[in-house]
Amino acid sequence: MTDDFLADNIKEIHRRIVSAAMRAGREPDAVRLIAVSKNVDAGTVVRAIENGVRDLGESRIQEASEKIPLCAARTTGSLLVWHLIGHLQKNKARAAVGLFDLIHSVDSAGLAEEIERHAARAGKIQRVLVQVRISEEETKHGIAGDGLLGLLDVLRGMEHIAVEGLMGIPRFFENPEDSRPWFRLLRELRDAAVDKGFRLPELSMGMSHDFEVAVEEGATMVRVGTAIFGERRV
Ligand SMILES: *Cc1c(COP(=O)(O)O)cnc(C)c1O
């Protein structure tokens, strides 16, 4: 029964991504679904993988360091891509480099330096996104829009970091349409940086309640948890 429910949810999200992309005149293939598996047990994650999920998002290093090896061992042959979508503390950079294919939450030169150091030691080019604060609220995480070009410039000099785009989380709005200006802002910040010569193909934006609006505004990665796995039991 659980399998059916996961399979149905995943199919339904894909269908809604395709419709949203078509409405906006975009290629549906240009949008990746990241299944956010935080607080979801490894057995359930494995079932999602068996239902075609390949991109998985985790928020916490501790949880991921247990779950990722478990899932890998139980799904050999599936090429999984693990995304760190939560805030990263500098002292966890080493573990993050060891665990994740793409880190979405780089928001300071100091954090980037730690990632660079550990990636160099590991002989890895760490793919990252820069998290931008797109909210009228004063939230802790994400670099302010006016600091973006400066940070991108610093990151460009780091040999073991490859910046692939931007990530943003608007504050929660009841009506997903209210997220639209913030998604648009992130896209415009990206476009402005591209005009300055940065290569930033990826836009990670949109969650369960607003991913369709994000796709219409140019998201290339949507991070969907609840709509796939159900309400999290925290
Ligand atoms: C938890 C989380 C998500 C997924 O949220 P849902 O509302 O469950 O889809 C997406 N992005 C980030 C950064 C998260 O922490």
Mind listing the pLDDT tens digit for each residue in 55-69?
999 999 999 999 999
Query: Residues lining ligand 1, CB < 6 A?
Result: 36, 38, 59, 85-86, 169, 207-208, 223-227
pTM across the whole model? 0.96
- Separation of CA 146 and ligand 1 centre (Å): 25
Residues ≥6 apart with Cβ < 8 Å to 229: 6, 9, 35, 36, 37, 40, 44, 48
* pLDDT tens, position by position, 140-157: 799 999 999 999 999 999
- Separation of CA 48 and ligand 1 centre (Å): 17
Confidence of residue 138 (pLDDT cuts 50, 70, 90): low
- Separation of CA 119 and ligand 1 centre (Å): 26
- Separation of CA 125 and ligand 1 centre (Å): 26
Which of 223, 224, 226, 234 for mutating ligand 1's site (highest number of atoms within 8 Å of CB)? 223
For residues 201 and 221, the answer to whether their CB atoms sit within 8 Å is: no
Name the token pair of 230.
Answer: 């159900």
